Chain A
Amino acid sequence: MTSAPPSSTRPAIAEVRGARKQYPGVVALDDVDFTIAPGEVRALLGQNGAGKSTLIRLLSGVETPDAGTVIIDGAPLAGGVAEAGRRGVATCYQELSLVREITVAENLSLGAWPIGLFGIDRKRMIASARATLARLGADIDPEAIVGSLTLAQQQIVEMARAVQEEPKLLILDEPTSALAAAEVDLVLATVRRLSAEGVAVLYVSHRMEEIRQIADSATVMRNGRVVETVSIAGADTGRIIHLMLGEALDAAPAISAGRPLGEVLLEVRELSLPPKLESVTFTARAGEVLGIAGLLGTGRTELLRAIAGYERAKSGEVAVRGVPEPRPTVSRMRRLGVGMTPEDRKGSGIIPGLGIDENIVMSDYRSVSAGGVLVAARIRTATKALAQRLAIKADNLSRPITTLSGGNQQKAVIARWLHADSDILLLDEPTRGVDVRAKAQIYDIMRQVADSGKLVVFVSSEAEELPLACDRVLVLRDGRIREEFRAPDITVADVLAASMGAHGGTPVAVPAAPSSTHPTAADSGVPSE
């Protein structure tokens, strides 16, 4: 809006004028203007809920604006996805939509098979796939099974499918989020080629390094509005982050410094899990809420899963209470008091058919049974107390868990580990998709749990919430811990800058043991306690 990007002198290929989009309870887009020119690579930046996805949905015809217009190639867009596609808009969403079991060529001609005299003409199909891949400069065998390719290659195939439609505007929604740093170049090279052909590319990503490499300009969104479109060459990352956050959000952290912490509960030493994690080392203590920040796909989930024993690290060590665990399996780590709540609450958190109470007690049946038989009264007592403690809003805990709101479901999943009396709670995105009040309650719960002498490891992709909840924040980027912040010096801007890679590629060394502000003697990791 304010400073015009250099390439906008050419006529726009896509334009949004005064667009407004309202969903029940939220204004997702408010008076948004946006233009993109042929051959331009535009980064789209903004926090969760800033309106990026809604803008993409308008451009690709998935949704129509409540007010304002979307103009594609000079004419207003009236129909839905199919029309937007015909007019030259192609979108690659985060989740790949390829069929993993069949070949690249088959994927590329899915639904539009070249038919010859004897059914599907395989030769023609493979030749056309080869041509498309060559056009993208990709060295991928069209006859390879998609599932056997690397994620980066799969991402290219996904793009190839979009490119076949000869798009004028290609929208890429976090195309590199699932990729390791080394694989990103492949995607960037492809984007460059397309841009050279004159395709406009709208590129959603928060990795500053790659944005700087390929984008001409960046549109920053906040609270449903376009804040500014800046030229990449002219803006430093600090400025962009400032635009993303606005003024209000950098409130003082809620956590005061110097709270007394207990023994070292968890030590992770040189943990590697290629390609996601590389030599991750940190220590955490009882009484602490430790935040793990990082962009989507930086290995946060893998880190938690490796600690909890669900994934075997290639090298490195996890020690609980100073004792290294040589064979960290799920059951062993559980016995040592490690409990994990997954990011995907619906897919691997709750058991939909069972009651709230049963969803809680399933982590430990022993404490609610006598002689191998479950005792209803004990289940009632245990779950009632937990529901009260975590403010789970339910009139009757035996009702199916699916009758709860998302936030209350999440609380029930956390309650599961309190029921098992785990000392180390690994919470993967516990606040995702829950409302503001439930978020605040979950911060309270984490604090309360930590205060009771446990360790809470809190993974979040929303930088705003880490200062509100954490004593300490580790920032993961490209598989390594790049920076560490301690309360009260945790700021949203710092965390975000470290996640996005504002400081270039130089990794920041993080001391293996917590710094000397903690006067305990256990920093050496010796099992002295």
Chain B
Amino acid sequence: MTTTVDTSSHPGSDHSAPPPRPNPFTRARRAIGGNTTLVNIVGLLVAIVLLYAYLTFNAVGFMTAANQSGLLRDAALIGVAATGMTLVIIAGEIDVSTGPAVALSSVIVASGISQWGLPTWLAILLTLAIGAAWGSIAGILRARFAVPSFIATLGLWSVLRGLAQFVTNALPVQIPDSDPIMDVLNGSVLGIPTPAIVMILAFVVFGFIARKTPFGRSVFAIGGNAPAARLAGIPVRRVRVALFAIMGLLGAVSGVLLTARLGSGNSTAANGLEFDVIAAVVVGGTAMTGGRGSLIGTFLGVIFITLIGNGLVLLGVNSFLQNVVRGVIIVLAVLLNVTLSRRRGSREDD
């Protein structure tokens, strides 16, 4: 962390300054959410525009309708889970079980439809409920038994992937070719793929929750200073359980969408998805130490990560090398973000 000297009694140098009028800049920053700096948002926007420009001219097939639609679907896979992950990380926690959660959900929903003879809507509801349930288990382990969330969800990561492969023997579970609900979920509305609409909906809903509800503000408070939040009467445990339940639920949503897209439930799907999700959140300016972050930042982070993945494929970069490049770019982006915000003095004291 920063090595600033602790000046608890007179924090910051600005409290003695004449009261600045709430200028548009400040207001915009607040509107964007929490303490995420405008620098971060603007920086990401610029990076995305540049990437778009570069890929439009240099990557064959980038600006085609098919690729843009695929881009949105890829973004949705990361983005839906990234909404909940933003809250989880703001609360000072982590959930690494997303990939296997998506995979097992896809297996459950596909099995529900094609093997257990459930109506599609019921299979989907069942999947969502089960997802929320295993999320709560991780949450209870964290909140009630003080198992670090990294460990609790690492365990879940292994269990979920293992279960998915065990029940399917690692074979895909096909769903019927014409399933009206699944067709809608894989279709598009006004040219926008359904998963992308779900993702945007999730961002709107969670953006609202984060800014405007007691639950959302409690998340910020807990991530900012958990003992203080507890002393202030915030139900810290309940909020933590709810966060992981939400992550489980969102993983299940992604699993259902992925099943609709692939036409099958697949135990090996979404391999390494959790890293893309966490990377998107962090690139979006959410602090891994908790207490600070925004959903709009995450949204841009999701677009950024997706663009890089898509661009590297279209540019024909060796598929093994892609991971290397992606890793370097993500770390650089975060490094730049941290450096910039520190220079601007916009880091709160820590």
Contact surface of A with B, Cβ cutoff 8 Å = 310, 330-331, 334, 339-342, 345-354, 358, 362-366, 369, 372-374, 395-396, 398, 400, 402-406, 416, 420, 433-434
Contact = CB atoms under 8 A, between A and B. Distances in A.
B10 A406 contact: yes
A340 B231 contact: yes
Task: Say what secondary structure dominates the interface of chain B.
Answer: loop
Given A353-B220, A403-B14, A374 B213 contact: yes
Given A347-B227, A369-B213, A433-B9, 11 more contacts: A310-B231, A348-B231, A350-B225, A351-B224, A354-B220, A354-B221, A363-B232, A372-B214, A402-B349, A403-B15, A433-B8
A362 B221 contact: yes
A71 B245 CA distance: 65
Nearest to A308: B231
The contact size tier of chain B is 35 or more
A392 B292 CA distance: 25
A353 B221 CA distance: 8
B235 A373 contact: no
* Interface-centre pick from A340, A351, A395, A406 (highest chain B CB count, 10 A): A351
A352 B232 contact: no
A362 B214 CA distance: 8
Contacts of B292: 353
Interface in B118-132: none
B336 interface: no
A199 B337 CA distance: 54
Contact of B233 (A330, A347, A400, A405): A330
Contact of B22 (A369, A396, A434): A396
Contact of B12 (A354, A374, A402): A402
B348 interface: yes
Contacts of B221: 351, 354, 358, 362
Contacts of A402: 11-12, 348-349
A331 B291 contact: no
Contacts of B234: 362
A214 B24 CA distance: 65
B348 A400 contact: yes
Contacts of A348: 225, 227-228, 231
B117 interface: no
B15 A353 contact: no
* Interface-centre pick from A334, A352, A358, A366 (highest chain B CB count, 10 A): A352
Contact of B235 (A331, A342, A400): A331
A400 B345 CA distance: 13
Given A374-B213, A374-B214, A400-B35, A352 B224 contact: yes
A420 B214 CA distance: 14
Contacts of A334: 233
B344 interface: no
B34 interface: yes
Interface string B256-292: 0000000000000000000000000000000000011
B217 A362 contact: yes
A362 B232 CA distance: 7
8 contacts: A339-B233, A347-B225, A348-B231, A352-B225, A352-B349, A354-B224, A403-B14, A405-B10
Given A310-B231, A353-B35, A405 B9 contact: yes
Contacts of A347: 225, 227-228
Nearest to A347: B227
A364 B15 contact: no
* Interface-centre pick from B15, B22, B213, B232 (highest chain A CB count, 10 A): B232
A496 to B, nearest CB: 25
Interface in B204-237: 212-214, 217-218, 220-221, 223-225, 227-235
A402 B350 CA distance: 11
* Interface-centre pick from B12, B213, B218, B233 (highest chain A CB count, 10 A): B233
A405 B8 CA distance: 8
Nearest to B234: A362
A373 to B, nearest CB: 5
A343 to B, nearest CB: 11
Contacts of A341: 231
B19 interface: yes
B12 A349 contact: no
A233 B291 CA distance: 56
A373 B223 CA distance: 20
B144 interface: no
B225 A374 contact: no
A351 B229 contact: yes
A330 B221 CA distance: 17
A334 B217 CA distance: 19
Contact of A406 (B9, B14, B220): B9
Contacts of A395: 19
B342 interface: no
A398 B19 CA distance: 13
Contact of A353 (B9, B227, B348): B348
A358 B217 contact: yes
Contacts of B227: 342, 347-348
Contacts of B34: 353
A330 B230 CA distance: 9
Contacts of A433: 8-9
Contacts of A345: 8
Given A362-B221, A373-B213, A433-B8, A351 B291 contact: yes
Contacts of A398: 30
Nearest to B289: A353
A309 B275 CA distance: 40
B231 A349 contact: yes
Contacts of B214: 365-366, 369, 372, 374
A345 B227 CA distance: 11
Nearest to B292: A353
Contacts of B348: 352-353, 400, 402
* Interface-centre pick from A345, A347, A362, A404 (highest chain B CB count, 10 A): A362
